[in-house]
Every structure is written in structure tokens, then in C-alpha cells.
């Protein structure tokens, strides 16, 4: 019979308890943030028009074109009316323009950018996401973004994608943020369509996503007047 070192056993047990305590504390804090989001009435009203998808295009699994529908090349883009040299165009102007264009609150766009890249237009994640709103190459292509390091294109594309997620999940901000981080297919596969359902399925989401949603929602409060 294997002999167990009492000291090692005590240390291991203490470590396991500490890990469980940390995980439980994170879940409780995240649940509190989401519950507050459910109970609070947003001070910013978003006006969004949900576009009809082309025949045969669905919101099912994975491909970005299925989630967004075909790119409307006739639609005026932010690039069309920004100065030729965009280095001197402030992020504030770009964010405001994108928010108005896609019906996304400016405070939400700013908080996503803060958590995603800390307002660094040259940021690259370990997974290869790029720019202010951390677009993956495939996502960027689906959004018509040719240069993710260009703040004009990145903010326009990232805001458009965020707008689509808000539309898809009925304006539930926390759910849209979870989808922005973990992917809409993963969130939808859990049957999550509301903040309440997100709370109920919290355990099924990556801890990174839980922390991400909490951080963005916390940051948003600092941008909300």
C-alpha cells in the first residue's frame, strides 16, 4: 500500500482549497457584474436596424459571412469620408463615427478597445489578433478589413462585428461580449441568448471569457456619463 507523506498531503489539500476558493470567487464576482447589468437600465439607448440576410444565408456555425451576410459594397464606409492621411484623425472621432454608423454606444466601443489593446493600434495577441479591436485575420477579411493595423479600418470593422453580435443576441451586452471573446458559435451552442442564461451557464465558458466580460463591463462604467 502506497504511503502518503502527511506534510505533502496537507500542502496539496491546502493548494486545492485555495484554487477552488479563487475559482468560486471569480464566478461570484462575475455573477454580480452580470446581475447588475440585468437590473440596471442602460443610460445609452442603441438604435440598430437588423439587416435581412440574403436567401440561403443563415447564422449557423462558424463562417463569418454566414454571421454577417454578404458585404454590402454600396454602403458608405468610414474610409470614404475620413481624411486621406488618417494618422492625424483622433481615435475619438473614429469611434464616434463608427458608433453612429452601426448603432453601438461609444462607451462600449471604447471599453472593448481598452481591454483588447489598451488603445495600441499595433497590438498583436499571442493568437494573432491585431490592432485596436484585436481582429483575427479571417474575421478581418470577412469584414472587408485589408489592414488591421489601420485604426480607421480596425475600428470600423470591429464595431460592425460588435453591432452584429448585439443584434444576434437581442441587445444583451454581456452575451455579445462573451461572443466577441469566445466566438458566437460557442455561445450559441450553449443556448445562451440573454444575460440571465449567461449567468446560468457561466461554468461552461472559459475563465478567460468570464474575466474578459467583467473587465469590459467594469471599464464601460468609466466611459458612461
Which residues participate in catalysis according to the annotation?
A: 116
Alpha-carbon distance of 105 to 98, in angstroms, equals 9
**Which residues in 9-46 are b (16+ Cβ under 10 Å) and which e?**
eeeeeeeeeeeeeeeeeeeeebbebbeebeeeeeeeeb
Angle between helices 207-223 and 106-117 (to 10 degrees): 130
CB proximity list for 4: less than 8 A, separation 6 or greater: none
The cell numbers describing 221, all together, are 462604467
Amino acid at each position: 500500500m502506497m504511503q502518503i507523506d502527511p506534510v505533502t498531503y496537507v500542502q496539496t489539500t491546502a493548494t486545492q482549497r485555495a484554487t477552488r476558493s479563487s475559482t468560486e470567487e471569480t464566478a461570484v464576482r462575475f455573477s454580480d457584474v452580470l446581475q447588475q447589468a440585468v437590473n440596471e437600465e442602460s443610460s445609452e439607448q442603441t438604435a440598430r436596424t437588423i439587416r435581412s440576410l440574403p436567401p440561403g444565408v443563415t447564422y449557423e456555425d462558424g463562417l463569418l459571412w454566414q454571421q454577417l451576410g454578404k458585404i454590402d459594397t454600396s454602403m458608405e464606409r468610414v474610409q470614404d469620408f475620413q481624411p486621406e492621411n488618417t494618422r492625424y484623425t483622433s481615435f475619438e472621432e473614429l469611434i464616434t463615427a463608427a458608433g453612429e454608423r452601426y448603432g453601438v454606444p461609444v462607451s462600449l466601443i471604447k471599453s472593448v478597445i481598452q481591454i483588447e489593446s489598451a488603445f495600441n493600434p499595433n497590438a498583436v495577441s499571442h493568437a494573432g489578433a491585431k490592432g485596436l479591436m484585436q481582429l483575427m485575420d479571417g474575421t478581418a477579411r470577412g469584414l472587408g478589413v485589408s489592414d488591421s493595423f489601420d485604426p480607421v479600418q480596425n475600428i470600423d470593422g470591429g464595431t460592425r462585428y460588435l453591432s452584429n453580435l448585439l443584434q444576434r443576441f437581442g441587445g444583451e451586452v454581456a452575451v455579445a461580449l462573451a461572443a466577441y471573446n469566445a466566438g458566437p458559435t460557442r455561445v450559441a451552442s450553449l443556448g445562451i441568448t440573454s444575460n440571465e442564461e449567461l449567468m446560468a451557464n457561466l461554468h461552461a465558458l472559459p475563465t478567460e471569457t468570464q474575466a474578459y466580460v467583467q473587465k469590459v463591463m467594469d471599464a464601460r462604467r468609466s466611459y458612461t456619463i
